Amino acid sequence: MRRVHRQALPGRVQTYLDNKAQATAGMQDIESAWKTARQTKTLETVVGILQSTMGPRERCMYCVDSHGSDIDHFWPKATYPNRAFLWPNMLLCCTECGRFKGIRFPLSGAGDPMLVDPSAENPWEYLDFDPDTGNLTARYDVKSGAPSPKGESTVQVLQLDRREGMAEGYRQTYRRIVSRVRGALAGDAIDPQQFAQDLQQADDHGLLGWCFGPVGRRLPPFAELQRKVPDAWDACVAEVISIEGHSQ
């Protein structure tokens, strides 16, 4: 999973959504209103913007593995109809993630979402990666001495630890990143900026945030890169920060 930086909508599209949100405020049959709106060119433009945000392969914003084909409402529209036409509530979703999530939307006791919103927060604050299985799991929270509750909930709802096809995709990406780091270490010299960009091109699943984070940085070959080529390491960390929006 990777952090998604949401684009601003064209003025006419944002105006359309604002007008629809106002017109449907308090409406009981939001599904009918959404179905009608979804058939418009304006909503197709919204889908296109979400897809372009995820790059040429238009990956799902939840699993970052399958093709994202439709809009998912982070706060489910069936339960929270007043959020149906809010741009910050729209994510690009694949069929499988959409089926798993459905209207499942656990909240904390304070009423905060217990699912990771990749457009609003860095998923690696709550999730971990297992290089052996390719599964995503809940990140261990040192302060509480237990797995992240939001991470656990996200993994459970989206079944991120039970999807063999997705896990294989993550394993392949991890092996590709590791191979490029090892190849660079075996070479004569590393151009830090070019190397960081090459790794970004190799990362199909947003794994650089994990590889250069608190867990991955302790493993080979990342620990070796940090020790032997600090300039290249710093360039990679800077690339991760620019994408994930947090310090390591």
- Those residues with Cβ within 8 angstroms of residue 111's Cβ, 6 or more apart along the chain or in another chain: none
Tell me what pLDDT residue 248 has: 42
Distance from the first to the final alpha carbon of the chain? 17
Closest Cα partner for 61 from 141, 142, 117?
117
Q: What is the pTM of this model?
A: 0.94
Question: Cα 240–160–112 angle (5° rounding)?
Answer: 75
217-233 burial, b at 16+ Cβ within 10 Å, e below that, comes to beeebbeebbeebeebb
pLDDT tens digits, the chain, 248 residues: what are they?
999 999 999 999 999 999 999 999 998 899 999 999 999 999 999 999 999 999 999 999 999 999 999 999 999 999 999 999 999 999 999 999 999 999 999 999 999 999 999 999 999 999 999 999 999 999 998 888 999 999 999 999 999 999 999 999 999 999 999 999 999 999 989 999 999 999 999 999 999 999 999 999 999 999 999 999 999 999 999 988 887 654 44
The pLDDT, as a whole number, for residue 17 is: 98
| Closest among 99, 90, 86 to 47, alpha carbons compared | 90
Given this model, what pLDDT does residue 169 score? 97
Q: How far apart are CA 182 and CA 99, in angstroms?
A: 39
64-100 pLDDT, tens digit per residue, is: 999 999 999 999 999 999 999 999 999 999 999 999 9
Question: Measured between alpha carbons, how far is residue 7 from residues 62, 83, 119, 167 in Å?
Answer: 17, 18, 10, 29
> Residue 141: its pLDDT value, please?
87
